[in-house]
Chains A and B, each alone.
Chain A
Amino acid sequence: MSVSIDQAFALARQEGRSAFIPFMTGGFPSPEACREIVLALDGCGADVIELGIPFSDPLADGPVIQASSKQALDQGVTPASVLALAAELSPRLKAALVVMTYYNPVLRMGLQRFAASASQAGVSGVIVPDLPPEEAGPWLEAARGAGLDTIFMAAPTTPPERLEVIRECCRGFLYYVSMTGVTGAGLNVDQELARGVARVRQGSSLPVAVGFGVAEAAQARALAGLADGVIVGSALVKRAQQAAGPGQAAEAVGALARELAQGLAQGPSV
């Protein structure tokens, strides 16, 4: 059985480092290769693994995750098949497993049924980027009932009053969106980002993980001193896309994941 999100962050904290949170589109580049990728990520020092349930209209995502979602959907990947993959993998993982998807597939399966299936599959938490707290009441009830952590996002544009509302709904960790943009855009780890992360960490014990645009070990290292966790998605998905074939994807993704995990373990250079 995989660990809870709280346990995953606690372990990283004990070891004096930020948690490493890689993302992979479920069923990409093929259902079999995705299984190998998740196992490789787990073996390369992932603390929490985010598995995406592909959606036809991923409006928070840039071109890389869009293309991977389309490729997975074209191969017949469904919410149920990604949750089945999670069920198969979770007992073998050291990392905590979370699922990321858009609201419509969740609604379509039914909130209760989705929450129950995710929970039974060993998933610890769920991220729904197009579901803000204002609309989340029914989902919170279903997810809490099934013992799932409900992960919400805060953005650089989030004012203080909203941050309070988001924190109230948020469990597991708070996902801080590094910039105004979509996944996979170029990221500058600068003063503004540092201030943004500090702002959302202040006055709350909820761990904060930063994502969107983190692509290299150097960026991960720079973020290590700022955040409780660092999320890397598009860069890993791109490695899987660029691999010679699905059979080589796990190795290619694993190589980058190892660099990123090492960067995080080293922490910021002084």
Chain B
Amino acid sequence: MPRLQPSSTEPRPWSQQPDQAGRFGAYGGRFVPETLMPALGELAAAYDEALGDPAFQAELDELLEHYAGRATPLYEARNLSANWGGARVFLKREDLTHTGAHKINNALGQVLLAKRMGKKRIIAETGAGQHGVATATAAALMGLDCVVYMGTLDMERQALNVTRMRMLGTRVEPVTSGSRSLKDAVNEALRDWVTNVRTTHYILGSVVGPHPYPRMVRDFQAVIGREARAQILARTGRLPDALMACVGAGSNAIGLFHPFLDDPVQMIGVEAAGLGLATGKHSASLSAGTPGVLHGCSLYLLQDEHGQVTEAHSIAAGLDYPGVGPEHGLLKDLGRVSYLTATDEEALEAFMELARAEGIIPALESSHALARAKDVASVLGSEAMVLVCLSGRGDKDVAQVAERLGARLEK
């Protein structure tokens, strides 16, 4: 069990990140072909300008409230607490947003930015399909052309989301290279962007990629933590003891954590251990990877001794990525955030437990956070509070889980 962070008056090395070059300590930066470098500079400038424009924030806030359904509830899961026999458990209900996951927060922010930059065409990558659906939704709303790259393995296991994207008028481009999942979809999206950079904005779905993406996506997702902080203070009069979130490439986790970084609150990210860390079939880049460069930034990466990126595995398509965003690398090295893992099997158990105990079917991604939240909550006293990001709902996973659990479902 990681220790609770003592409050301190020392300088806080995690504040004011990233620097001008997009560096979070040793991580981040901009490692892309020259063709994209000017576009990234323009994007960073347009984003800075938008940040300084109250009209931009007002338009985004309006969409977040009336279109996406924010603020999302902070729900106290009393049955879960009773089952676990420890701390009070609060769920930040990102699953209740329009389109069903936190991904919409970022997609709306970026699509407004794309419009502001005069881009007519949107591209995105997707793993679980949640970012793809969020982007397809935002593009439909704004009347922009949209193409989403998706590995064929993910198209099989997240078929519902493929249909949703198509209904929304998006073209889903199947990606057959490599592991046919999220990593390869990002490669293909970047190749499209290199080719069509003058007309196209790439809506990257997590806190990875070249600067300014890790910062910009974090800022758009930080609404999760800002709301959660205000909600728990209003409700209980104090801060929670621990925050927990699943970590794929890291956006829902950093979105929840970031507004609490200077608070005396313990934070725990949960990576996918897949079939188990020892099997090598997992997606636990922070727990079992090493620093490297992929998809435009320096980050913790699953790679072999020759610097070839190795294939990630997780039952949750949205966690099936061999890297974790640069800011998490820094927070890990500083010891500010702890990173644990949960296996496919543990995630499935947590998925079923939340459904049966609270009547909420979570995304398989979010189920990883729940699986470890159980351990954390059960060792803390009943006065303690654990706040878990329920990053998405499980509709997309129903067929996959039913197939996996088979007869076990019938009782």
Contact of A177 among B32, B35, B183, B306 (CB under 8 A): B35
Task: Decide: A104 and B35 in contact? CB cutoff 8 A.
Answer: no
Task: Decide: A152 and B34 in contact? CB cutoff 8 A.
Answer: yes
Task: Decide: B294 and A57 in contact? CB cutoff 8 A.
Answer: yes
Contacts of B402 in A (CB 8 A): none
Q: Give A55 to B292 CA distance when docked, in angstroms.
A: 13
Task: Decide: B38 and A56 in contact? CB cutoff 8 A.
Answer: no
Contact with B along A88-130 (1 / 0, CB 8 A): 0000000000000011111111000000000000000000011
Task: Decide: B38 and A162 in contact? CB cutoff 8 A.
Answer: yes
- Smallest CB–CB gap between A122 and chain B, Å? 21
Task: Decide: B34 and A154 in contact? CB cutoff 8 A.
Answer: yes
Contacts of B31 in A (CB 8 A): 103, 130-132, 135
- Smallest CB–CB gap between B290 and chain A, Å? 8
Contacts of B293 in A (CB 8 A): 102-104, 107, 130
Question: Does A235 touch B at the CB level, under 8 Å?
Answer: no
Contacts of B335 in A (CB 8 A): none
Task: Decide: B308 and A56 in contact? CB cutoff 8 A.
Answer: yes
Contacts of B30 in A (CB 8 A): 132, 134-135
Q: Give A103 to B187 CA distance when docked, in angstroms.
A: 15
Contacts of A66 in B (CB 8 A): 177
A56 with B178, Cβ < 8 A, contacts A134-B30, A135-B30, A154-B34 known:
yes
Task: Tell me the interface secondary structure of chain A in the complex.
Answer: loop
Task: Decide: B292 and A108 in contact? CB cutoff 8 A.
Answer: yes
Task: Decide: B292 and A182 in contact? CB cutoff 8 A.
Answer: no
Contact of A157 among B35, B178, B183 (CB under 8 A): B35
Task: Decide: A130 and B32 in contact? CB cutoff 8 A.
Answer: yes
**Complex: chain B residue closest to A67, CB-CB:** B177
Within 56-108 of B, Cβ neighbours of A (below 8 Å) are at none
A129 with B33, Cβ < 8 A, contacts A62-B191, A180-B196, A182-B195 known:
yes
- Smallest CB–CB gap between B74 and chain A, Å? 39
Q: Give A134 to B28 CA distance when docked, in angstroms.
A: 12
A105 with B37, Cβ < 8 A, contacts A135-B31, A157-B197, A180-B198 known:
no
Q: Give A180 to B37 CA distance when docked, in angstroms.
A: 12
Q: Give A185 to B36 CA distance when docked, in angstroms.
A: 17
- Smallest CB–CB gap between A207 and chain B, Å? 17
Question: Does B2 touch A at the CB level, under 8 Å?
Answer: no
- Smallest CB–CB gap between B307 and chain A, Å? 3
- Smallest CB–CB gap between B398 and chain A, Å? 32
Question: Does A203 touch B at the CB level, under 8 Å?
Answer: no
**Complex: chain A residue closest to B37, CB-CB:** A132
Question: Does B109 touch A at the CB level, under 8 Å?
Answer: no
Task: Decide: A104 and B309 in contact? CB cutoff 8 A.
Answer: yes
Question: Does A247 touch B at the CB level, under 8 Å?
Answer: no
Q: Give A66 to B32 CA distance when docked, in angstroms.
A: 17
Contact with A along B16-35 (1 / 0, CB 8 A): 00000100000001111111
**Complex: chain A residue closest to B297, CB-CB:** A135
Question: Does A31 touch B at the CB level, under 8 Å?
Answer: no
Task: Decide: B34 and A105 in contact? CB cutoff 8 A.
Answer: no
Q: Give A159 to B40 CA distance when docked, in angstroms.
A: 13
Q: Give A73 to B310 CA distance when docked, in angstroms.
A: 12
**Complex: chain A residue closest to B197, CB-CB:** A180
- Smallest CB–CB gap between A121 and chain B, Å? 16
Q: Give A79 to B306 CA distance when docked, in angstroms.
A: 7
Contact of B21 among A70, A134, A158 (CB under 8 A): A134
Contacts of A134 in B (CB 8 A): 21, 29-30, 37
**Complex: chain B residue closest to A54, CB-CB:** B308
Within 267-289 of B, Cβ neighbours of A (below 8 Å) are at none
Contacts of A153 in B (CB 8 A): 33-34
Contact with B along A185-201 (1 / 0, CB 8 A): 10000000000000000
A158 with B292, Cβ < 8 A, contacts A57-B183, A59-B190, A180-B197 known:
no
Q: Give A130 to B190 CA distance when docked, in angstroms.
A: 12
Contacts of B36 in A (CB 8 A): 157
- Smallest CB–CB gap between A236 and chain B, Å? 20
Listed A/B pairs (29) with beta-carbon separation below 8 Å: A55-B307, A55-B308, A56-B308, A59-B190, A59-B295, A60-B33, A60-B191, A62-B191, A66-B177, A73-B308, A104-B292, A104-B293, A105-B306, A105-B308, A106-B307, A108-B306, A130-B296, A132-B31, A135-B31, A152-B34, A157-B35, A159-B38, A166-B34, A177-B35, A180-B35, A180-B195, A181-B195, A182-B191, A185-B195
5 pairs of A and B residues whose beta carbons are closest in the complex = A108-B307, A105-B307, A155-B35, A56-B308, A181-B195
